[in-house]
A and B are shown apart, each in its own frame.
Chain A
Amino acid sequence: MEVTFQLLRFDPLKDRQPHWETYRVELEPTDRVLDGLEAIKGQMDGTLAYRRSCAHGVCGSDAMIINGRNRLACKALVKNMKEPIRIEPMRGFKVLKDFVVDMGPFFEKYRAVKPYLIEKEARPQKERLQSQEERERFDDTTKCILCGACTTSCPSFWFNAGYVGPAAIVQAHRFIFDSRDGGAEERLSVLNNQEGVWRCRTVFNCVEACPRGINVTRAIGEVKKVIAKGGR
């Protein structure tokens, strides 16, 4: 079937403003939006720029606004989309070219919450044991693929780029609630301020945007609670 795409193109060398362009490509209904982009780039206009790597919803590199909502192009089926399929870059980051945005600030925030195991006790002889319940506690937030869909769907972030954003809080949550980790205090001190969890206004856009179905707002709420209680 023939599918119509409208893409918000922007080339920093040529354009002063982004502009819409229309493309028609031949696709199967079971194809993904990403396949459409590949067809456009491969057969019609090689200058089209976007990120993608795994093409299977694992690497998190192809989040973009598809028909008004943040999604992964590789997880959105063409047959489920209304035509024309309109694609824009994620909101809130600097657009480098077409759908490629500057993720630098995003990963800076990610690093700020120290997303790695911080040892509190002496290193055990063998592995660190953890019960199934303890693992379950932070299971939801381990699923994050750092695509940025949540952060760039958040009005608090759009208006205030200083906000650490849902993705970084999800990552912090993954370690704060890990029984093996000892760095909760350091992470909470990063999050316990105006640009941290308290800028979350529970808008729930992040929950809707997350391609991994993570209950992001709940995770943020749990971090707020831990701060209010003064510990895990």
Chain B
Amino acid sequence: MELFTWLFMRYSGVLLLFLALGHLFIMHVFNSIHQIDYDFVVRRYMALFWRGYDLCMLWLAMIHGLNGMRILIDDYLKPPWQGRSVKVLYVTGGLFLLLGTWVIICFQPAAG
């Protein structure tokens, strides 16, 4: 299990580097943030590709970050606070993950 998370951290780290850099350039260099508005998102989310891109980034980043936090907690806290903090971390992380996924998948432009 620890082997798996270790490998995951390495692979997701490399993937995220490209995904996040891509995201950064698209959002802040090729487009200025002043152009990014509701319509921009609507247009972008017409393409399944961008939904997939964001979904990938969301999951990889969240799990990568959560696992990193778990390792930090594991390093710095002792039981019983260790277990408790990890639980709180998983619940909040999981909620954000679900919320994000829900938005990406179910986003429909408002009629009109």
A198 touches B7 (CB 8 A): no
A160 touches B2 (CB 8 A): no
B75 touches A198 (CB 8 A): no
Restricting to A157-184, which residues have a CB under 8 Å from any CB of B?
159-160
Q: Is B76 an interface residue (CB 8 A)?
A: yes
A192 touches B7 (CB 8 A): no
Q: Is A156 an interface residue (CB 8 A)?
A: yes
Compute how far the CA of A159 lies from the CA of B79 in the bound complex, rounded to whole angstroms.
12
Q: Is A190 an interface residue (CB 8 A)?
A: no
Chain B interface size band reads under 10
Chain B residues with Cβ under 8 A from A159's Cβ? 75-76
- Chain B 1-12, CB-CB to A under 8 Å as 1, else 0, gives 011001100000
Are A228 and B7 also in contact (CB < 8 A) when A192-B2, A194-B2 are? Answer: yes
Q: Which residue of A lies closest to B6 (CB)?
A: A198
A192 touches B3 (CB 8 A): yes
Q: Among B2, B6, B74, find the residue whose CB has the most chain A CB atoms closer than 10 A.
A: B2
Of the A-B pairs whose beta carbons lie under 8 Å apart in the complex, a sample of 19, sorted by A's number, is A156-B75, A159-B75, A159-B76, A160-B75, A192-B2, A192-B3, A193-B2, A194-B2, A194-B74, A196-B2, A198-B2, A198-B3, A198-B6, A201-B75, A224-B6, A227-B3, A228-B3, A228-B6, A228-B7
* Interface positions of A (Cβ within 8 A of B): 156, 159-160, 192-194, 196, 198, 201, 224, 227-228
In order of increasing CB-CB distance, the 3 nearest A-B pairs are A198-B2, A194-B2, A227-B3
